[in-house]
Structure 1
Amino acid sequence: MYETIKNRFMLFLQFFLVITYILFEELIWERVAKPVYETIHALKLLQRLESKLAHVSPSFILIIFVVLFVIVEAFGIYAGVVFVSGQVLLGVILYMAKIPVAAFTFWLFRVTEDKLMQFGWFKWGYEGVMRAIDWLHSCEMYKKTVAYVVQAKMDIRRWKETYLAGRSPFIEKIKYLYRRVKERLKN
């Protein structure tokens, strides 16, 4: 009985981690943070800053990175608390507001990764996170969920092309009903 409970708990935990990871990867990273990161990366000012960071000590870079990382994570937790407390719109706005700083922090990490990896504890933590992500990607539940999400996206795209593209009968019917309701309300 103990093994059954343990297995079900582990299955639930794995499911929760997979769904959370996919949600953040698909919605937040791919749709919002990645475009912001690419915009930040393309800025001329940051390209100049990148060349100056090559001459900065690893300790100073670590301090800047850790401070930015802590600020971003604290802001994200606060946004989550606000969201859960019932102020959904404010929570979403606060979370979205942290994304440019998070994208800058990610840029800083990518640009100074070799210097940050000089710190053994930092390298150990980073490698641990990467191993956890690799483990998640290798899970059967992750693979099946990603396949389901991909199929759902294709189904939605097909539905849009069929019913919402150009002059579809569905859209024409909606427009017709809208005009009829509007005319009746005028009379």
Structure 2
Amino acid sequence: MLSTFKHKLILLLQLLLVITYIIFEELIWEGIAKPIYEAIHSLKILQKIELKLETVNPSAILFIFVVLLSIVEAFGIYAGMLFVSGQMILGLVLYISKIPIAAFTFWLFRVTEEKLMQFGWFKWTYDWIMKAIDWIKSSEIHQKTIAYLVQMKMYIKALKEKYFAGKSPFIEKMKQLYKRLKALLRK
């Protein structure tokens, strides 16, 4: 009985980790942060900073990175506290406001990764996090959840094409209704 409870607890923990990872990876990173990261990376001023970072001491880079990462994490924790306390809009605004800082921090990491990896504890932590992510991605729960999400995306895409395609009767009716409402409101 204890073994069954332990097994279910481990499965629940794994499911929570998978859901959290999918939310951050698929929704937040792919949908919001990655486009911001790419925009940041393409800025000419940051390309100049990138060149200057090559000459900066690894300890100074580590300090800047840790400060930025701490700010991002503090914003995330505080946003979560706001969500839990019922202040959803303020929590959402705070969480969204941290995304550009997180994207900049990720850019800084990518640009200075070689220098940051000179610190043994930093490299160990990074390797441990990557192993944890690999473990999550290789889990059966993750793979089934991703397969389900792919099916849902295909279903939504099919619905979108059926009902919201260029010359869909549904869209044409909605446009006509909008035009009638607009004409009525002008009178």
TM bracket, shorter-chain basis: over 0.9
Percent of aligned positions that are identical: 65
Partner residue in 2 for 1:17: 17
Q: How does 1:161-176 map to 2 (within 5 A)?
A: 161-174=161-174
Change (3 A) 1:180 1:38: closer
Residues 183 and 48 of structure 1: CA distance in aligned 2, closer, same or farther (over 3 Å) = closer
Deviations 1:90-137 (A, max 9, x none): 211111101111111101111111111111110000000000000011
Give how far 1:176 is off.
Answer: 5.8
TM-score normalized by the length of structure 1: 0.92
CA distance in 2, matches of 1:185, 1:114: 63
Secondary structure at the aligned position of 2:56 is classed as coil
Question: Residue 133 of structure 1 corresponds to which residue in structure 2?
Answer: 133
Task: Tell me how far apart the structure 1 counterparts of residues 26 and 154 of structure 2 sit (CA, whole Å).
Answer: 15
What CA deviation, in whole Å up to 9, does each residue of 1:25-57 have, x standing for no partner?
Answer: 111100100000000001111111111111111
Q: What root-mean-square deviation, in Å, do the aligned CA atoms of Structure 1 and Structure 2 show?
A: 2.0
Question: What amino acid is aligned across from residue 116 of structure 2 in structure 1?
Answer: L
> For residue 51 of structure 2, what is the aligned residue in structure 1?
51
Aligned length: 187
- Structure 1: distance between partners of 2:92 and 2:137: 27
- Does 1:155 pair with 2:152? no
Letter in 1 for 2:22: I
CA distance 1:185–1:116, shift in 2 (3 Å): closer
Partner of 2:93: 93
Aligned partner of 1:101: which letter?
I
Residues 185 and 41 from structure 1, CA distance in 2 versus in 1: closer, same or farther, beyond 3 angstroms?
closer
Gap regions ≥5 residues in structure 1: none
Instruction: Tell me what 2:123 maps to.
Output: 123
Summarize the Cα distance change of 1:63–1:169 in structure 2 as closer, same or farther, 3 Å threshold.
Answer: same
Matched to 2:57, the amino acid is: S
TM-score when scaled to structure 2?
0.92
Give the unaligned 5+ runs of structure 2: none
Query: Aligned partner of 1:51: which letter?
Result: L
In structure 2, the residue matched to 1:40 is 40
Q: Deviations over 1:133-169 (max 9, x none)?
A: 0001110110111011111011101100001112323
Separation in 2, partners of 1:13, 1:26: 20
Q: Which moved more, 1:170-179 or 1:54-63?
A: 170-179
- The DSSP-based 3-state class of the residue aligned with 1:12 is helix
Deviations 1:50-90 (A, max 9, x none): 11111111111110000110011001111111122112122
